[in-house]
Amino acid sequence: MIKHSVRAVIEAARLVPSVRVAAAADAEFAAAAVIEAGIPVVEITLTTPEALRVIEKLTKAHPHAAIGAGTVIDAATAHAAIDAGARFLTSPGVDVATIAAARDRGVLVFPGVFTPTDIIAAMHAGADFVKLFPCAPWDGVEYLKSLMAPFPSVPFVAAGGVTLHTVADYLRAGAIAVGVGSDLVPRQAVYDRDRSWITELARRFVTAVEAVR
């Protein structure tokens, strides 16, 4: 899957589910459940044990889905994730070398930003999207609206505490997509291997996104 195709998948789904779990088998189950529920985008955070192996396995099993690596904070890790098959990279902050590594390898990248200075640095470095992170500790929707005024052409992904009840608000405020974690992939559902629970939550998130279109 080439870069512009990955971008198109994310922009169409408007959801970037993030899987942060305690075991590789949990990550594989959670990601497969999300994809099979109809959301063709999954980010595997590199805090997950054996995350690179999980990314490689998922990319092969789901070639039409955009499987990404999250919590990528340096160039060496970026290259390792790309070698494993990651189709996009995300980071909690701005690391210019990480952005450069992704750009040089033709892989979509969206670093974490919070201030206007972060946003300018990320875009000048060549970021494809910027991830407004974290949103939950603040009034993220209103803050995003205030950032859209000086940065109307910047593609924001809102993440860090986005819930089913706020996803539509972030999209209406101008985000091109939202990152979602445990509200879509509850740890108990993963632990219990309750695919129907995740499927129902995915349906609700997709419905919330469709209501904004």
Catalytic residue of the set 11, 36, 43, 200 = 43
At 8, phi and psi to the nearest 5?
-65, -40
CATH for 116: 3.20.20.70
Where does the pLDDT of residue 110 fall: very low under 50, low under 70, confident under 90, or very high at 90 and above?
very high
Q: Give, rounded to a whole angstrom, the gap between the first and last alpha carbons of the chain.
A: 25
pLDDT at 134 > cutoff 90: yes
Concerning whether 43 is annotated as a catalytic residue, the answer is yes
pLDDT of residue 113: 97
Closest CA to 41 of 62, 71, 72: 62
What average pLDDT does the segment 170-180 reach? 97
In a domain, 44, yes or no: yes
Residue 18 lies in domain: 3-206
In a domain, 16, yes or no: yes
In a domain, 184, yes or no: yes
Where does the pLDDT of residue 1 fall: very low under 50, low under 70, confident under 90, or very high at 90 and above?
confident
Catalytic residue of the set 3, 11, 50, 131 = 131
Task: State the greatest distance between any 2 C-alpha atoms of the chain, in Å, as a whole number.
Answer: 46
- Euclidean distance between CA atoms 10 and 97, whole angstroms: 23
Average pLDDT, the chain: 96
Q: How many domains are there within the chain?
A: 1
In a domain, 211, yes or no: no
In a domain, 36, yes or no: yes
In a domain, 213, yes or no: no
The pTM of this model reads 0.95
In a domain, 117, yes or no: yes
In a domain, 145, yes or no: yes
What average pLDDT does the segment 12-30 reach? 97
